[in-house]
């Protein structure tokens, strides 16, 4: 493990990879990153899967088998993504065992198009938990106001949750409350808190992108102050979220749950790839290192940290007053932060919904390429006898096994 990554681990930072693909699994690359590269968890989202499955690499046999069965497009998408996540869970199973289930987690997201419907979201969470069938799974649920009850319901059912698309401290407080409600409801229903985990994915770099854009638009008397504030908002926002986490950790409400076996929801820093080349490409990792946090990084950021990152221990300690000062100064120059985060949540949901539609289109194309006929509503007419020229194999929901590939069997 690179020295910088080890230093992060020593500080209490869990290093996760924000990426997954069939090729990364089958090549053994993922196993290598876990064994030697310090990776102890994985996050995915619709955009990641749209890119991975859109490439077609490694998915051909399974798509062909599903086309033979006439599996509907939506179900095909879920079977393809569930296999990848299940296989990754198996790769990370030793990590999960070593950490008591705290790490070694892999996330799969509910359909982002239903993020405003709590009942459907909770139902999909239960379905995905059943489909992947691994104890080290996280179900990702967007932190929309309408979706907060789904977070509580899912945790109360004993399903571990990654709450995603959090942009503000105010929404994070609501997410923490939903988490605590979920644990309390589970206990009230006679359930156990053993093995139940959660992370709150707090988005970072997108904050600076949007606030910097607004600062750059300021002209005249306030332009110098606006320039000084560039690149300060995202880290200050995350620092204040960690202050809320520390307060919750010391609260009587949490202490009571902890005494009954609860484990606190950790903050996970997401969107940590630097978008502005004027900034150091490791800043959203080293500047947010703190005990009991998770940092999920795209591969390029992970490589950058391993190569030239310079962690300095707990970087958040003692930053809260300066962070509050940053927000005061932003308000003084006319930045409406509530408008910023509301817009980013809308954009994030729209982006994931678009990626989901692209994923559907990609799978549709691949099923048709395999010889199936896809109906307008997404149902699939199986491959006809004329198209069955593919290598003979049983029609199954699982990819055919090759030497060294992870087993999809339980």
Sign of the alpha-carbon torsion through 52, 154, 351, 33: negative
- CA 84, CA 104: separation in Å to the nearest integer? 15
**CA dist list (Å): 208 to 104, 191, 217, 236:** 30, 42, 14, 10
Judge whether 260 counts as a catalytic residue: no
Catalytic residue from among 140, 260, 317, 369: 140
C-alpha span between 326 and 198 (Å, rounded): 30
Pairing of strands 13-17, 293-297: parallel
Which region holds residue 292: left if phi is over 0, alpha if psi is between -120 and 50, else beta? Answer: left
How do 373-374 and 380-381 pair as beta strands?
Answer: antiparallel
Long-range own/partner contacts, residues 336-345 (CB < 8 A, 24 or more apart): 337/168, 337/211, 337/233, 338/168, 340/167, 340/207, 340/210, 340/211, 340/214, 341/167, 341/168, 341/171, 341/207, 343/210, 344/167, 344/203, 344/206, 344/207, 344/210, 345/144, 345/165, 345/167, 345/171
Active site positions, annotated: 140
């Amino acid at each position: 493990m690179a020295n910088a990554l080890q230093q992060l681990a020593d500080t209490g930072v869990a290093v996760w990879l924000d990426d997954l693909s069939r090729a990364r699994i089958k090549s053994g690359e993922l196993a290598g990153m876990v064994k030697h590269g310090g990776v102890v968890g994985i996050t995915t989202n619709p955009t990641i899967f749209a890119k991975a499955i859109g490439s077609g690499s490694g998915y051909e046999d399974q798509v062909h088998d599903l086309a033979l069965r006439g599996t509907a497009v939506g179900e095909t998408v879920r079977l393809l993504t569930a296999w990848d996540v299940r296989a990754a869970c198996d790769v990370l199973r030793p990590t999960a065992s070593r950490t008591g289930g705290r790490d070694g987690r892999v996330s799969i997201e509910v359909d982002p198009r239903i993020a405003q419907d709590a009942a459907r979201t909770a139902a999909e969470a239960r379905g995905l938990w059943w489909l992947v069938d691994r104890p080290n799974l996280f179900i990702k649920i967007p932190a929309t106001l309408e979706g907060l009850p789904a977070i509580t319901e899912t945790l109360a059912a004993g399903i571990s949750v990654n709450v995603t698309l959090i942009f503000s401290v105010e929404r994070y407080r609501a997410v923490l409350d939903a988490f605590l409600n979920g644990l309390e409801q589970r206990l009230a229903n006679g359930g156990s808190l053993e093995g139940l985990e959660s992370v709150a994915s707090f988005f970072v770099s997108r904050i600076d992108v949007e606030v910097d854009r607004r600062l750059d638009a300021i002209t005249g008397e306030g332009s110098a102050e606006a320039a000084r504030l560039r690149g300060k908002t995202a880290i200050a926002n995350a620092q204040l979220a960690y202050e809320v986490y520390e307060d919750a950790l010391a609260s009587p409400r949490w202490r009571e749950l902890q005494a009954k076996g609860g484990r606190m929801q950790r903050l996970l820093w997401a969107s940590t790839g630097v978008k502005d080349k004027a900034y150091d490409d490791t800043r959203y990792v080293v500047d947010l290192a703190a005990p009991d946090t998770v940092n999920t990084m795209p591969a390029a950021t992970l490589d950058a940290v391993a190569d030239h990152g310079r962690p300095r221990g707990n970087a958040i300690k003692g930053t809260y007053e300066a962070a509050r000062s940053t927000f005061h100064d932003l308000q003084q120059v006319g930045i409406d932060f509530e408008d910023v985060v509301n817009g980013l949540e809308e954009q994030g949901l729209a982006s994931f919904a678009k990626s989901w539609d692209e994923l559907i289109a990609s799978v549709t194309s691949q099923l048709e390429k395999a010889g199936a006929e896809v109906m307008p509503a997404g149902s699939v007419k199986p491959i006809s006898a004329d198209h069955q020229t593919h290598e003979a194999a049983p029609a199954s929901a699982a990819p055919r096994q090759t030497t060294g590939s992870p087993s999809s069997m339980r």
